[in-house]
Structure 1
Amino acid sequence: MKLNLLAIAIPALLVAAGANASIEVWNKDGNKVDFYGRVKAANNITDRAQKGQGDDTSARLGMSGQTQITDSVVGYGRWEYEADAGKDSHNEVRYAFAGLNFGDLGSFDYGRNDGVLKAITAYTDVLPQFGGDASNNTWNVLSSRTKAVATYRNNNFFGLSDDFSFALQYADNGDNSSLIHTDRINHQSREAYGANAQWRIFDTGLTAGAGYAQTTKKGTRHNTWAGGLKYENYDLYLGANYFQSKLKKADARWINGYTVRRDEKIRGFELVAQYGIDLEVGRLTPSLAYVQHKSKLDSKHFAKHNYVSGENSPIAKYVSLGATYDLNKNFSAIVEYKFNLLDDDDKGARLNSNSKRGKDKWKPGTKDVLGVGLIYQF
């Protein structure tokens, strides 16, 4: 029982980037504490001001711990902090949660943690510098980090199968910070709930996953579902996911004499392929990806003459070509070129613009971006 507990007690504690080379600082009498960290010195280069360009240097520090309470119960916790070092730098507590693991009965924790859909959207959040569009945004429910989440996880379906896992989650008044892109609509905090399930398909290397999350407040309903597939062995990694997010507003506003209700639907898919090549010194992993998210906005006008107007436009569309060169487990070099496929009049081009209206001539965010960087992690 103890070996089984130790094998599954903290499966989610060390999933963040930079947490794969942690330093064990304490291991005695059933208590264990690890520290891990990462310094990324990176820059995103483009020839026009748009969001995400420029310095992207940051540092992270985290700790995870566990304690053996009984033969069948393990307590655990995790904390992680990040400080950005760019021009518009800010600091953030990324994770802060604690919980109990009951072996085959599953685990329960509470605090600041990943939304339950992150487990699915993370299938394609593996690019050297960019990516994560399905995970870190304001249009998906419980797909990014958020505060006040209670999560139940079972990683072996009550001991019946190591290939099947699931999770249930409830967010109590989810994060509305302007710095953290998580589940918020018009900066309003709200309750949310969701679930996911994943199946490692026998010994094929394939994993299939799906999840659903929803939040409702004052008649406004926002829900997201996502599905994904990934294939992995030592050399080859393939990932794909698809999501659909709906925001339905029951309230109405008067615009130009008409009663208006604006409903939005966002659909997106992401594809990633990576292949690792062992070199005499280190390991090189080329990466290729395609990302496309599209927004459909319906504005229904009710007056003497009923009619429908709306918008159907990409909000993210690009091809990524890059590589990660791991000199060893602690030091890496990254390079990635994002071929931006957005047109000037696309919604995503407006969202990615960094021009200041009234001061600088507005320019859409349609330029390609080159990201380069060095990463030290322990």
Structure 2
Amino acid sequence: MKRNLLAIAIPALLVAGAANASIEIWNKDGNKLDLYGRVYALNYLGDKGNTIDGEGDKTTARIGFSGETQVTDMLSGYGRFEWETHTGTDAENETRYAFAGLNFGEYGSIDYGRNDGVLKSLTAYTDVLPEWGGNASNNNFYLLSARTDGVATYRNSGLYGLVDGFDFAVQYADSKEIDPSITSPSVAQTLGKKEAYGMTAQYAILDTGLSVGAGYATSTKAGDDERAKSWMAGVKYDAYDLYLAALYSHTSYGVSKVKGVELVAQYGIDFEIGRLTPSLAYIQHKLNDAIVTNGGVSSLASDYVAKYVEVGLQYDFNKNLTALVDYKINLLDDDKGFGYSKADTKDTVALGLIYQF
């Protein structure tokens, strides 16, 4: 989620930052510190046997801070930490972000730590739905497409002051989290890579509201193993309360491939109090020629790992409070390919209320 719920806004060129409703707790002598967080009360209404989406309570809470310190007119330092916990007896905890870096103004910024994979700036084009979406942000399918530890990232906005609206980034990662497996309920094909490199370029075309972007990532080669390669291309339009976006993604490893298409349309309607945003989306990601081993015999199989239509509503009372309902119309077939259960192919409705600061 979720373009309007937790907008990213660290100083200058940084991809990851504090929420747009953050609290400034210190700003003195060139040092600034913001605190932010949210509570997301969420429930999935669906089949209890659904192993893909699950069912019932999905409530989470986050807390984080971002800071900046001015060293000279041309140099500043920055850092960010964010932590999330889930509710329930088997609750999971996660450090979502933990990185620090240097910002050299128009010469760009460089940081290291746990941060977004470089391709996540492109998956963000379509990862704007109230709850669903974000399927391309998955390191199991696409290299450097989700949060990853051990990443060093260089970013530049405006091509060193030469081209307004042109941004690029390059990244190196050495992490078990970019050792992805092309997976399904009954298929696992390990890409077997710890190291990866990636880059993206994006261009906001003048004041038209139209932006285009593309990116590429590849793993290093170890011995006779083949490289895994991922690339993405996206386009978005954001103007006059209308948001349209499309993303194509592709990964290859040996004979196996994952291909994805995501299409999103949203329209914002302002009221005297608050803003209503209906959304409509189509999401599909298909695994082709995956190696399946059954009884010691290997064969190739192909099927969708995600395929659905989304219809959702999001109501922002103000920048701190949001209500949402998101309906996932599942198009997976339970009698083909990787053997999804009937529960896994049924529809799911998400109901949520978010308080953030």
Aligned match of 1:366 in 325, 329, 345?
345
Give the Cα separation in 2 of the matches to 1:91 and 1:24. 26
Residue aligning to 1:162: 164
Contact 1:117–1:212, Cα closer than 8 Å, also in 2: yes
Offset from partner CA, 1:185-211 (integer Å, 9 cap, x none): 749560111000000012210000000
Q: Residues 133-148 of structure 1 correspond to what in structure 2 (within 5 A)?
A: 133-148=135-150
Question: 1:120 is paired with a residue of what secondary structure?
Answer: helix
The Cα of 1:116 is off from its aligned counterpart by: 0.4
Unaligned runs of 5+ in 2: 1-8
Give the Cα separation in 2 of the matches to 1:176 and 1:161. 32
Aligned partner letter, 2:247:
N
Unaligned runs of 5+ in 1: 1-5, 249-262, 302-307, 354-362
Q: Does 1:113 align with 2:119?
A: no
Rg: which structure is higher?
A: 1
Give the Cα separation in 2 of the matches to 1:26 and 1:346. 57
Give the Cα separation in 2 of the matches to 1:315 and 1:26. 46
Aligned partner letter, 2:103:
N
Give the Cα separation in 1 of the matches to 2:80 and 2:150. 14
The Cα of 1:104 is off from its aligned counterpart by: 1.1
Give the Cα separation in 1 of the matches to 2:312 and 2:22. 26
Offset from partner CA, 1:102-153 (integer Å, 9 cap, x none): 0111000000000000001110001101110001351110000010000000
Q: How many aligned residue pairs are there?
A: 335
TM-score (norm: length of structure 1): 0.83
Residue aligning to 2:5: none
Aligned match of 1:213 in 200, 211, 217?
217
Give the Cα separation in 1 of the matches to 2:349 and 2:89. 18
Q: Residues 185-224 of structure 1 correspond to what in structure 2 (within 5 A)?
A: 186=190, 190-216=194-220, 217-218=222-223, 219-224=225-230
Question: 2:124 is paired with a residue of what secondary structure?
Answer: helix
Residue aligning to 1:22: 22
Contact 1:10–1:76, Cα closer than 8 Å, also in 2: no
TM-score (norm: length of structure 2): 0.88
Aligned partner letter, 2:197:
Y
Question: 1:126 is paired with a residue of what secondary structure?
Answer: coil
Offset from partner CA, 1:51-93 (integer Å, 9 cap, x none): 2222110000010000000110010000000001145420000
Offset from partner CA, 1:225-284 (integer Å, 9 cap, x none): 000001102511111100111122xxxxxxxxxxxxxx3101110000110001122110
Residue aligning to 1:233: 239
Give the Cα separation in 2 of the matches to 1:371 and 1:364. 16
Residue aligning to 1:280: 272
Residue aligning to 2:15: 12
Label 1:225 to 1:98 Cα distance change in 2 as closer, same or farther (>3 A).
same
Residue aligning to 1:326: 316
Residue aligning to 2:83: 81
Aligned partner letter, 2:308:
Y
> Which 10-residue stretch deviates more, 82-91 or 227-236?
82-91
Contact 2:334–2:345, Cα closer than 8 Å, also in 1: yes
Residue aligning to 1:3: none
The Cα of 1:11 is off from its aligned counterpart by: 3.6
Label 1:90 to 1:367 Cα distance change in 2 as closer, same or farther (>3 A).
same
Identity of aligned residues (%): 55
Label 1:191 to 1:14 Cα distance change in 2 as closer, same or farther (>3 A).
same
Question: 2:350 is paired with a residue of what secondary structure?
Answer: strand
Residue aligning to 2:326: 336
Label 1:34 to 1:341 Cα distance change in 2 as closer, same or farther (>3 A).
same
Question: 1:133 is paired with a residue of what secondary structure?
Answer: coil
Contact 2:179–2:192, Cα closer than 8 Å, also in 1: no
Question: 2:202 is paired with a residue of what secondary structure?
Answer: strand
Label 1:140 to 1:65 Cα distance change in 2 as closer, same or farther (>3 A).
same
Label 1:267 to 1:177 Cα distance change in 2 as closer, same or farther (>3 A).
closer
Label 1:271 to 1:349 Cα distance change in 2 as closer, same or farther (>3 A).
farther
